[in-house]
């Protein structure tokens, strides 16, 4: 894996990034793919929930909340 990729969970609020790889497998991977999280998809971190987790992301026009566990398995590149 390329070193310059960071997990989505580290993307600061208000920043955009490009999805580069999914490190999850099985059902979780399928679900991420269903969201349209394929290579080069642009995601934007919108805001955290009051208790800090999950975080809402803008993904292909929809707002999706992901827990940090899921977001940490999505590798991104700053955009």
Partner 1 sequence: MGLTSQSTGTGVLDSEFRIERSTPGDKVIALAGNPNVGKSTVFNSLTGLNQHTGNWPGKTVTNALGKYLHKDKNFYMIDIPGTYSLMATSAEEEVARDFVCFGKPDATVVVADATCLERNLNLVLQTLEITDRVVVCINLIDEAKRKKISIDYSALSKLLGVPVIPTVARSNKGLTELMDAVYEVANKSLITKPIKITYDKSIEHAIKMLQPRIWELVDGMINNRWVALKLLDGDPALLKSLEKYLGFNLLDDNKLLELLDSAKKHLANNGIQPDQLRDKIVSRLVHIAEDITTNTVTFDNKQYNCTDRKIDGILTSRIFGIPIMLGLLALVFWLTIEGANVPSGIIADFLFGIEAKLTELFMSAGSPEWLHGILVLGMYRTLAWVVSVMLPPMAIFFPLFTLLEDSGYLPRIAFNLDNFFKKACAHGKQALTMCMGFGCNAAGVIGCRIIDSPRERLIAILTNVFVPCNGRFPTLIAIGTIFIGGTVGGAFKSLSSTLVLTGIVLLGIFMTLLVSYTLSKTILKGLPSSFTLELPPYRRPQVGRIIIRSIFDRTLFVLGRAVAIAAPAGLVIWLMANIKVSDISLLTYSANFLDPFGKLLGMDGYIMMAFILGLPANEIVVPIIIMSYMASGSMLELEALEDLRNLLVSHGWTWLTGVCVMLFSLMHFPCGTTLWTIRKETQSMKWTLASFAIPTAAGIIICFIVANLIRLLGLV
Q: How far apart are CA 68 and CA 40, in angstroms?
A: 21
Residue 49 touching partner 1 (CB under 8 A): yes
Binding to partner 1, residues 1-20 (CB under 8 A): none
Q: Which residue has the tokens 């919108």?
A: 46
Q: Which of 10, 38, 78, 79 binds partner 1 (CB under 8 A)?
A: 38
Residue 63 touching partner 1 (CB under 8 A): yes
Q: In Å, how far from its chain's centre is CA 61?
A: 14
Q: Is the peptide bond before 23 cis (omega within 30 degrees of 0)?
A: no
Residues that bind partner 1 (CB under 8 A): 24-25, 27-36, 38-39, 41, 46-54, 56, 58-67, 69-70
């Amino acid at each position: 894996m390329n070193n310059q990729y960071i997990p989505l969970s580290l993307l600061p609020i208000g920043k955009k990034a490009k999805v580069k790889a999914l490190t999850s497998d099985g059902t979780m991977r399928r679900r991420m793919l269903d969201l349209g999280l394929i290579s080069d998809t642009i995601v934007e971190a919108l805001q955290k929930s009051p208790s800090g987790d999950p975080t809402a992301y803008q993904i292909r026009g929809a707002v999706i909340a992901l827990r940090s566990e899921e977001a940490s398995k999505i590798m991104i590149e700053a955009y």
